[in-house]
Amino acid sequence: MQDGEVIIERRGTAGVIGLNRPRALNSLTLPMIRTITAALQDFVDDPEVVSVAMMGEGERGFCAGGDIRALHESARTGDGLAASFWREEFRLNHLIASYPKPYVALMDGITMGGGVGLSSHGRHRIVTERTRLAMPETGIGYVPDVGATWLLPRAPGEAGTWLGLTGLDIGAADAIHARLADLQIASSRLGEAIDALSALPRASSSGDVDVVLQALSEPQGESRLRQNAAVIDRAFRFDSVEEILAALVGEEGEFAAETRRVMLTRSPTSMKLALRLLRAGRRSASLAECLGRELGACLQMLDNPDFFEGIRAAVIDKDRNPKWSPASVEAVEAARIEHFLKPAEPPLSL
């Protein structure tokens, strides 16, 4: 398939899936998720395919996440699309995490939200000098999903908590430090990577894929998260957003000040719920457990005023000035957070 929103092809022994909505930063729609899922299943059954590579068309982004305009409209009209989107997206995330053939994600450019779900669960995660990775959901009145509550707690120290609460974007070195990526390859050499994968013999293994990718890799720069690890670990070790914000006041330096300034612009409800989900994810035994918990929270988001307000401010009116309700973390009632933790009905089927 060479047209449409997803391009699917076999090049030699490599299956290649290209997200093809470059003007929308390759943001995901439900038909795209279904097409990708079917392609991955077909490649598993194809004896000629050794590995599968996922990439984004255009030069700006791998994938900016789900099409939040469509999700906003679905939540407004109650047509059920948002619930179907999340269920099928989460099943796709789980498929990628358990994929039996080497899965290579080329995370070139913007890789956010659902884009992290398409990449960081894979076996071979490649970033470039253009990568900007984030889970920005607290800025739109939503919460980290697509299995992020499994991935982020497994970053070193409290780096994942920082990522999940602030929603700030990071580059290649930080993505590797946070264990969301493995190698850096120059964007100009990604075509070489695909060519090398396509030339692998049918008997090749995941180790052979590693050799190919390592040969094209380059050293990453300094990680800002690593440099500020002590501050992050001290401030974000607490289990309440109020305590984290208070701890940041006591930290010296611009990094802590910037972190606190950003957090004060995020949805208070989203931050408190995100922290609960991240801490639960740290205790969880599997990705499937986290995805199921996230789905329950997502379905409750369909009645959350901050979800509508955050998307309005970010992509509809674009005034970048959301009015959160409630407006402070202190005003978010514990019962409200418990409401979001209701199990999905029916449960997520994986």
Please identify which of the residues 61, 109, 113, 114 carries the catalytic annotation.
114
Distance of alpha carbon 51 from alpha carbon 28, whole angstroms: 22
The catalytically annotated residue of 5, 67, 89, 137 is: 137
What the block records as the tokens of 202 is 């049918």
CA–CA dist 19, 67 (Å, integer): 13
State yes or no: is 117 an active-site residue: no
Confirm whether 66 is a catalytic residue: yes
Of the candidates 56, 66, 109, 310, the residue annotated as catalytic is: 66
Q: Write down the catalytic residue from 67, 89, 145, 158.
A: 145
Chain-centroid distance of CA 200 in Å reads: 29
Alpha-carbon gap, residue 316 to 310, rounded angstroms = 9
Active site residue 114: yes
CA distance 137 to 25: 17
Token pair of 76 as six digits: 């407004």
Please give the distance of CA 201 from its chain centroid, rounded to a whole number: 32
**CB burial class (10 A; 0-12, 13-18, 19+) of residue 23?**
exposed
Taking Cα atoms as reference points, which of 97, 23, 62, 39 lies closest to residue 290?
97
Instruction: Please give the positions annotated as active site.
Output: 66, 114, 137, 145
